[in-house]
């Protein structure tokens, strides 16, 4: 038989958290183990001590499960496997002893732990004990009281020398928060133990298995063998085995503590490993399977009580915070200035959450209340840390461990709780909590020790567990869940109030805009009526003068009259364009199917091309897709683009205009080979009164502005491709409708 140290390869410091303790390859000898194939029920592996434990000879001749165990067990096992049920235990008698079979599924195999079964406690007595335990735990009103009673009950029932309740912190360090022990033992109450004492693989198994026994740290391991006894089996997953062997590191750890046996149960709250109840004994001690399950049940009762106490605390805190939040809401709704509502009245933001100080940052202004960092430091904190997190709510008890610059103000702001008030992460409310310097009492120096062999440092558990003190700074009081949720609700409330106030401002602006539009309509009428009347008079009398006066010999007067008539015509066109532009958007869009072919034909036909532009060739694509848009605006867009194309290409040798549709870009286009547009003016062509062409080309500079506004109202797009002196192509659509 090989001893434990030879079976398990030593674990070094670099892979301690990856130690494969679930495939350790051996079991503790207070039981035996059989592994069968789930389909054939053939035995594939067994523990070396199986024959002696069951007092069975000729084990090598056994091949199937019914060679070892009663048929009733096999029938029960098959039924439960076929129904995909949790596998049940089975008790059978052999010789003068009772044996308990504890099966469970592991990958494609069934592992069967075999233990000796002691006499059961009479069910009536057990029920009385259980009722008494439940009653005592349910009467507790605090975590301290619940924890202490739980350790007392477990010690009384199971008789271990020391029972401790061990709670994990966020970094998986543990603290003994309750203890019941023999009088002669030194207390470990209040001591802390580093996360390395219970590494990640062990914590993961505790979460899955729930209860773990080590009957004797000086046990002789029983290796798991293959059926032909040819080799050790270290690939079998023993996570849920009751007999799984113990890591040599943990064995040495317990030996250094002078502990001979242990029983550990997991405290699981809301699906997470909250802590452990650990029992130590200073002699070898075995507790049978059903006693261990009872201990597991008691621990679950304790976990439920913790959850209940936490819930009561959470509800009480939430009610207080809810009252304060509602008062802050009323202040925000009744006080016009946001800052005053949150900082100048009672309650204020500092009263809302337990803190040393608070900062309100909005529109690049910082307002503080209570103990906070300097405003420059707050600016840096937001710019270099909070804004980069891109979180609507952010909290930490140790800001300096995430943001090095915060070391300068740990006294006032070791912890922060921040809520964002805008999508750009510039506006915040930040609550600050000061540093709390605490002294932690460790159960021995928490630093890992090791020894070097062949260039590798191997883990060497601590030998001393005497109290070791350490001062811890740079951290604040922990932010409670109720506080975080209250801050989140306040954030929602503030955003609601801000949106409401913004809506009120928009409503006022809309009303103002309506008045302005009404005035614009009045002005438009004035332009169309009051200005046009004298304009017609000027034009009419200028024409009369031209016809009745003999101006053949007076070139100056003749030119002056022509200028008056021409200017009147231009002004009339300008008035028409201004009115057209002002009307767009003041009327509802009425989308209907519009035949672009008919629209284009009408525009071309009304242009009198043969008379006005005899050299211009126009190519209009047939079967242009219909568009679902406002008919009047579609006509305006097409008319402006087509007449512009004709106008600005008329002086070319072979003026050419093309109208069509591009399927790949889902856009109509109007193309010409005219004067083109200088690229540096592309961004300006859609502005009102923008004219980039020379005076040789008539126009008011409003046409393209009308086009852009009409397309924008349809949520469509318009863009241009152009080259100076070579031509221009306008692409456009009227949105997805």
Structure tokens at 699: 């126009």
Q: How far is residue 226's CA from residue 231's CA, in Å, rounded to a whole number?
A: 6
Whether pLDDT at 114 is above 90: yes
Q: CB-based contacts of 352: which residues, under 8 Å, 6+ apart?
A: 321, 324, 325, 328, 486, 490
- What is the mean pLDDT of the segment spanning 576-595? 73
Q: Is residue 233 part of a domain?
A: no
The reply to whether 124 and 198 lie within a common domain is: yes
Which residue among 94, 116, 138 closes a domain?
116
Q: How far is residue 281's CA from residue 279's CA, in Å, rounded to a whole number?
A: 7
The reply to whether 296 and 445 lie within a common domain is: no
Q: Please name which of 446, 448, 17, 11 lies closest in space to residue 200, comparing C-alpha atoms.
A: 17
Q: How far is residue 169's CA from residue 195's CA, in Å, rounded to a whole number?
A: 9
pLDDT tens-digit map of 644-666:
899 889 889 899 999 999 999 89
pLDDT tens-digit map of 171-226:
898 899 999 999 999 999 988 888 888 888 888 988 888 899 999 999 999 999 88
Whether pLDDT at 361 is above 80: yes
Q: Is residue 237 part of a domain?
A: no
Between residues 516 and 125, the one the model is more confident about:
516
> What's 88's domain CATH number?
3.30.450.20
Q: CA angle, 44 as apex, 42 and 49 as ends, to 5°?
A: 115
Q: Is residue 218 part of a domain?
A: no
Burial class (CB in 10 A: 0-12, 13-18, 19+), 18: exposed
Q: Is residue 225 part of a domain?
A: no
Which residue among 488, 522, 557 closes a domain?
488
The reply to whether 440 and 407 lie within a common domain is: yes
Q: How many residues can be counted in the chain? A: 737
pLDDT tens-digit map of 260-315:
999 999 999 989 999 999 999 999 999 999 989 989 988 998 999 988 888 888 88
The reply to whether 700 and 595 lie within a common domain is: yes
Q: Determine the structural domain holding residue 460 and report its residue range.
A: 321-488
The predicted pLDDT at position 459 comes to 45
Q: Is residue 420 part of a domain?
A: yes
The reply to whether 128 and 273 lie within a common domain is: yes
pLDDT tens-digit map of 505-531:
888 888 887 777 676 666 666 665 666
Task: pLDDT band for 442, please (50, 70, 90 cuts).
Answer: low
Q: Please name which of 78, 58, 81, 82 lies closest in space to residue 68, comparing C-alpha atoms.
A: 58
The DSSP H or E segment spanning 599 is helix 596-606
Among the residue ranges 483-497, 518-532, 584-598, 661-675, the one predicted with the least confidence is: 518-532
Q: How far is residue 464's CA from residue 446's CA, in Å, rounded to a whole number?
A: 10
The predicted pLDDT at position 669 comes to 96
**232 DSSP 8-state letter:** B
The predicted pLDDT at position 6 comes to 38
Task: pLDDT band for 704, please (50, 70, 90 cuts).
Answer: confident
The predicted pLDDT at position 695 comes to 53
- What is the mean pLDDT of the segment spanning 694-717? 77
Q: What is the dihedral of CA 434, 437, 443, 449, to 10 degrees?
A: 90
The reply to whether 160 and 296 lie within a common domain is: yes
Between residues 373 and 531, the one the model is more confident about:
373
- What is the mean pLDDT of the segment spanning 388-392? 93
Q: Please name which of 644, 645, 633, 656 lies closest in space to residue 708, comparing C-alpha atoms.
A: 633
Task: pLDDT band for 335, please (50, 70, 90 cuts).
Answer: confident
The reply to whether 419 and 518 lie within a common domain is: no
Q: How far is residue 360's CA from residue 337's CA, in Å, rounded to a whole number?
A: 13
Structure tokens at 508: 């006022």
Task: pLDDT band for 687, please (50, 70, 90 cuts).
Answer: confident
The predicted pLDDT at position 515 comes to 79
The predicted pLDDT at position 135 comes to 81
The reply to whether 144 and 291 lie within a common domain is: yes
The predicted pLDDT at position 660 comes to 94
The predicted pLDDT at position 581 comes to 59
Among the residue ranges 271-285, 374-388, 466-480, the one predicted with the least confidence is: 466-480
Between residues 417 and 580, the one the model is more confident about:
417
Among the residue ranges 417-421, 555-559, 648-652, the one predicted with the least confidence is: 555-559
> What's 381's domain CATH number?
3.30.450.270
> What's 204's domain CATH number?
3.30.450.40
Task: pLDDT band for 113, please (50, 70, 90 cuts).
Answer: very high
Q: Is residue 173 part of a domain?
A: yes
The predicted pLDDT at position 12 comes to 42
Q: Please name which of 365, 367, 372 lies closest in space to residue 417, comparing C-alpha atoms.
A: 372
How many domains would you assign to the chain? Answer: 5
Structure tokens at 711: 């397309």
Among the residue ranges 359-368, 406-415, 418-427, 517-526, the one predicted with the least confidence is: 517-526
Among the residue ranges 105-109, 265-269, 569-573, 704-708, the one predicted with the least confidence is: 569-573
The predicted pLDDT at position 458 comes to 44
The reply to whether 360 and 439 lie within a common domain is: yes
Specify whether the CB–CB gap between 652 and 726 falls below 8 A: no
Q: Is residue 95 part of a domain?
A: yes
Q: How far is residue 277's CA from residue 316's CA, in Å, rounded to a whole number?
A: 28
Q: How far is residue 536's CA from residue 541's CA, in Å, rounded to a whole number?
A: 9
> What's 711's domain CATH number?
3.30.565.10
Structure tokens at 137: 């735990």
Strands (E), 236-271: 261-269
Compute CA distances 582 → 35, 304, 701, whole Å. 88, 72, 14
Radius of gyration of the chain (CA): 44
The reply to whether 43 and 135 lie within a common domain is: no
The reply to whether 145 and 262 lie within a common domain is: yes
The DSSP H or E segment spanning 180 is strand 174-181
Q: CA angle, 27 as apex, 161 and 157 as ends, to 5°?
A: 25
Q: Is residue 223 part of a domain?
A: no
3-state SS of 160-171? Answer: CCEEEEEEECCC
Whether pLDDT at 456 is above 50: no
Residue whose token pair is 């046009």: 532
Between residues 87 and 736, the one the model is more confident about:
87
- What is the mean pLDDT of the segment spanning 342-354? 92
Which residue among 312, 330, 352 closes a domain?
312
The reply to whether 548 and 683 lie within a common domain is: no
Q: What is the dihedral of CA 358, 360, 361, 363, to 10 degrees?
A: -170
């Amino acid at each position: 038989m090989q001893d434990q140290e030879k079976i398990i390869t030593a674990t070094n410091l670099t892979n301690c958290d990856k130690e494969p303790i679930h495939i350790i390859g051996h079991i503790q000898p207070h039981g035996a183990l059989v592994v069968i194939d789930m389909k054939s029920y053939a035995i594939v592996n067994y523990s070396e001590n199986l024959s002696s434990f069951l007092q069975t000879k000729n084990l090598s001749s056994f091949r199937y499960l019914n060679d070892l165990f009663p048929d009733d067990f096999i029938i029960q096992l098959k039924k439960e496997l076929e129904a995909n049920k949790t596998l049940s235990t089975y008790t059978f008698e052999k010789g003068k002893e009772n044996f308990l079979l504890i099966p469970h599924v592991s990958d494609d195999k069934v592992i069967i732990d075999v233990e000796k079964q002691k006499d059961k406690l009479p069910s009536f007595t057990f029920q009385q004990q259980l009722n008494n335990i439940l009653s005592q735990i349910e009467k507790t009103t605090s975590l301290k009281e619940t924890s202490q009673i739980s350790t007392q009950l477990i010690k009384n029932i199971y008789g271990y020398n020391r029972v401790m309740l061990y709670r994990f912190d966020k970094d998986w360090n543990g603290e003994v928060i309750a203890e019941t022990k023999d009088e002669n033992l030194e207390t470990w109450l209040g001591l802390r133990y580093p996360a390395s004492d219970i590494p990640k693989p062990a914590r993961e198994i505790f979460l899955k298995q729930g209860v773990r026994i080590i009957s004797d740290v000086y046990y002789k391991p029983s290796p798991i063998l293959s059926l032909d006894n040819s080799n050790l089996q270290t690939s079998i997953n023993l996570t849920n085995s009751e007999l799984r062997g113990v890591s040599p590191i943990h064995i040495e750890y317990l030996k250094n503590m002078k502990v001979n046996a242990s029983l550990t149960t997991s405290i699981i709250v809301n699906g997470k490993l909250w802590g452990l109840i650990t029992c130590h004994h200073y002699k070898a001690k075995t507790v049978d399977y059903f006693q261990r399950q009872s201990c597991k049940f008691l621990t679950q009762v304790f976990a439920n009580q913790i959850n209940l106490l936490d819930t009561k605390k959470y509800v009480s805190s939430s009610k207080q915070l809810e009252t304060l939040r509602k008062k802050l809401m009323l202040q925000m709704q009744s006080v016009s200035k946001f800052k005053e509502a949150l900082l100048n009245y009672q309650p204020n933001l500092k009263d809302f959450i337990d803190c040393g100080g608070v900062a309100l940052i909005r529109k690049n202004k910082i307002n503080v209340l209570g103990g906070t960092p300097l405003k420059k430091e707050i600016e840096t904190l937001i710019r270099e840390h909070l804004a980069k997190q891109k979180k609507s709510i952010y909290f930490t008890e140790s800001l300096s461990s995430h943001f090095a610059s915060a070391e300068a103000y740990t006294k006032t702001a070791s912890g922060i709780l921040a809520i964002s008030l805008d999508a750009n992460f510039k506006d915040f409310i930040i609550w600050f909590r000061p540093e709390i310097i605490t002294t932690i009492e460790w159960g021995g120096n928490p630093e890992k020790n090791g020894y070097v062999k062949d260039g590798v440092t191997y883990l060497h558990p601590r030998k001393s567990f005497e109290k070791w003190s350490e001062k811890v700074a740079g951290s604040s009081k922990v932010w409670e869940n109720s506080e975080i949720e209250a801050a989140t609700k306040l954030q929602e409330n503030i955003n609601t109030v801000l949106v409401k106030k913004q809506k009120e401002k928009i409503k006022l602006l809309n009303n103002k805009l309506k008045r302005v539009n009404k005035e614009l309509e009045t002005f438009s009428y004035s332009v169309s009526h009051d200005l046009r009347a004298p304009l017609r008079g000027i034009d009419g009398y200028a024409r009369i003068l031209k016809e009745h006066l003999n101006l053949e010999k007076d070139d100056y007067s003749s030119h002056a009259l022509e200028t008056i008539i021409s200017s009147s015509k231009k002004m009339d066109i300008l008035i028409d364009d201004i009115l057209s532009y002002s009307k767009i958007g003041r009327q509802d869009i009425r989308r209907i199917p519009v035949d672009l072919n008919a629209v284009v034909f009408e525009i071309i036909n009304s242009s009198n091309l043969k008379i006005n532009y005899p050299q211009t060739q126009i190519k209009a694509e047939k079967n242009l897709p219909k568009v679902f848009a406002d008919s009047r605006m579609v006509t305006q867009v097409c008319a402006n683009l087509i007449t512009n194309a004709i106008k600005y290409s008329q002086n070319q040798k072979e003026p050419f205009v093309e109208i069509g549709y591009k399927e790949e870009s889902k856009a109509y286009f109007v193309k010409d080979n005219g004067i083109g547009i200088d690229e540096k003016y592309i961004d300006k062509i859609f502005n009102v009164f923008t004219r980039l062409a020379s005076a040789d080309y008539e126009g008011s500079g409003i046409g393209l502005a009308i086009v852009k506004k009409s397309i924008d109202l349809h949520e469509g797009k318009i863009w241009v491709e152009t080259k100076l002196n070579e031509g221009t192509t306008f692409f456009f659509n009227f949105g997805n409708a």
